[in-house]
Amino acid sequence: MKLFIVSSLVATAGAWTLSPTRLASFSPTTTSGTSLSALKPGEKVTLIGVAADSGCGKSTFMRRLTNIFGGETVGPLGGGFDGGGWETNTLVSDQTTVICLDDFHANDREGRKLTKLTALNPKENDFDTMYQMLSDLKNGKTISKPIYNHVNGTLDTPETIEPTPIVIVEGLHPMYDSRVRDLLDFSLYLDISDEVKFAWKIQRDMEERGHSLESIQASIEARKPDFDAFIAPQKEFSDLTIQVLPTQLAEDDTKTLRVRMIQKEGVQDFSPCYLFDEGSEIDWKPCGKKLSCSFPGIQFKYGSDTFYGNDVSVIEMDGSFDNLQELVYVESHLSNTATKFYGELTQQMLKLADAPGSDNGTGFFQTLASFKIRELYEKRAAANKAKEKVAA
């Protein structure tokens, strides 16, 4: 499945330039949208929430997740600039809709300059509208959702979104509001340590955007209090957390990553993946004839733990793969992966071999988490079909 992402270097056609006023006070006469209608009669929406700070890999994870669900991709809702001449953050296929929660910002960029609040602050987000619209979508209703234009910072003309079997909401606050949180069928948090986040932002903002090291540091420090207060606490409510940390295999190594997949026990229709024997404590260094490894090698761990007071199962990978085709050797030692055939995990990793993190635990566990989410969706869909048959 192809995934299209829209971006712009110019102001979008029809974009509004708003003062710091809530979008709800405006009543546009037209909305952009699509005629796509993928939800069949009696079919229920499965709502997935993905939380993370900006620049922490949400877009790459969305690509992996939607790719695994399959389906013919329509692309950006409304066709983006080539099709409709306007900016959108929403991605649609006949199976999935991905909604960016930035679209529920309360003010535009100029408005936040006046309030002097960051987008991480809950006061800068319209949770009432977010809850109502996501509730309507989950109940199979079509919505007219606002758009936050990331290019010019404006609140644009709303777009029409019709429900699909899987709706993924990604952004800063999918688990912050208890009403929205209760709508979610499954939740995931991408937890990037401060050291790794800083290294990633340097690579992105200095090498790709020409920002200075000083400006990057200032930006991170300015956001940190709000991140610690409003974003990080959502980890408590996450069903699955992917934690990215500096390696423990070598000192002063800033490129190698140690990644942990923290899986909450007792979640309906979700059973954690495990390495070798379920419930055991495993420390495994697989490098050798079947898995080639450059310095500092690869180490896997598995065991039980607690995370924010919840019982969890944790799989950890420290190091990088030299040859992704050899990943099948690691896959053969994993159980409960929710893959449909032997080698599907490796096959999926090879499909997106050029995506960031494909040679380390970030891509590995994002892909594994995607299979588990697919399994959960299919279990829910099968249960709904069974109820429909009984009712008929």
The model's pTM: 0.86
Q: Is the pLDDT of residue 199 over 60?
A: yes
Q: Pick the residue with more confidence: 49 or 87?
A: 49
| Domains located in the chain, CATH noted | 33-188 (3.40.50.300), 239-379 (no CATH)
Name the one residue in this structure whose structure tokens are 């001449």.
85
Q: Using one digit for the tens of pLDDT, what is the confidence trace for 6-37? A: 222 222 222 322 223 333 322 333 444 444 45
Alpha carbons 380 and 373: distance in angstroms, whole number: 11
Query: What is the structure's pLDDT at 331?
Result: 97
Q: What region does 297 belong to: left with phi over 0, alpha with psi -120 to 50, or beta?
A: left
Q: For the ranges 29-38, 225-234, 328-337, 378-387, which has the lowest average pLDDT?
A: 29-38
Averaged pLDDT, 353-380? 95
Please enumerate in sequence order all residues whose Cβ is within 8 A of that of 128, keeping only pairs 6 or more positions apart, or say none: none
Name the average pLDDT for the chain: 85
46 C-beta neighbours (distance < 10 Å), count: 24
Query: What is the structure's pLDDT at 74?
Result: 52
Query: What is the structure's pLDDT at 56?
Result: 83
Bond from prior residue into 296 cis (ω within 30 degrees of 0): yes
Q: Is the pLDDT of residue 39 over 90?
A: no
